[in-house]
Amino acid sequence: MGLPDLPPLREVIAAHGLDARKSLGQNFLTDTNLLDRIARIPGLGTGARVYEVGPGPGGLTRALLRTGASVVAVERDDRALPALAELAAAADGWLTVVGDDAMAVDARALAGDGAHIVANLPYNIGTALFTGWLDGEEWPPWWASLTLMFQKEVAQRITARPGSGAYGRLAVLAQWRSVPKIALTVPARAFVPAPKVDSAVVHLVPATPMSAAHPARLA
């Protein structure tokens, strides 16, 4: 979809007092080219449905909307909701903002079957959300793909090969039911404020499980 001219993200952050808070696991991306690269990873087309967690000032949300996708964004930080409301008004029905805790909402009910989950996950809840999306009783899952930003070390643990030092619980869970890959590495300097570590975007698509093990044994 075509978005009208919008103010730069840095201006939005300043206007709404959106200093990133460590307690909420926040680090904001403001580079438009980088955000567009992330939004292109899942191969979204016009009318695709996306579920986003922790949009903050809406940088990745803008990029997802530019692909023609319809977005449901869940944001816990009340300070960000006015900025997201402005973006929703500009998106003319293509963006729904839910002010709630992503750990408490029913993502499937909000986004619908076949939605793509795309998020710069808050560091403090990223792993919990990820394992929750993978360890459900039902498989194939309700979501079509996962495109998730993690600390680089976590991304490497998810995609680690058997026998490597990073291979463990996250790799077993992810590779049992999906095909994960690191799609993009993001240096710390790309964030505001810059974290102490680099990040990486992991892309996963569902696959036929390698065994009939119960998910609770792997999660």
Asked, for residue 196, whether it belongs to a domain, the answer is yes
Average pLDDT over residues 115-130: 92
**pLDDT tier, 20 (very low <50, low <70, confident <90, very high otherwise):** confident
- In order of 30, 50, 161, 207, the CA distances from 121 in angstroms are 15, 14, 23, 23
The whole-angstrom separation of Cα 76 and Cα 87 is 17
Above pLDDT 90, what percent of the chain? 78
Residue 4: inside a domain: no
In this predicted structure, what is the pLDDT of residue 219? 52
Asked whether residue 148 is assigned to any structural domain, the reply reads yes
- The reply to whether 180 falls in a domain is yes
This prediction's pTM: 0.92
Q: Is the pLDDT of residue 27 over 90?
A: no
Asked if the structure places residue 2 within a domain, the reply is no
Domain contains 1 = no
E strands, the chain, in order = 28-29, 49-53, 70-75, 95-99, 116-120, 145-151, 178-186, 191-192, 199-206
Give how many domains the chain has, as a whole number.
Answer: 1
Tens digits of per-residue pLDDT, 77-106?
999 999 999 999 999 999 999 999 999 999
DSSP state of 56: T
Which pLDDT band, with edges at 50, 70 and 90, does 119 fall under? very high
Model confidence pLDDT, tens digit, residues 47-79: 999 999 999 999 999 999 999 999 999 999 999
pLDDT at position 209: 75
Q: Yes or no: say if 150 and 183 are a contact pair by the CB < 8 Å rule.
A: no
Any idea what the CATH number is for the domain that residue 87 is in?
3.40.50.150
- Is residue 30, in this structure, part of any structural domain at all? yes
| Contacts of 43-46 spanning 24+ positions with Cβ under 8 A | 44/68, 44/69, 44/116, 45/69, 46/1
- The whole domain housing 195 covers 9-217
Q: How confident is the model over 160-181, as a mean pLDDT?
A: 94
How far apart (Å, rounded) are the C-alpha atoms in residues 209 and 85? 40
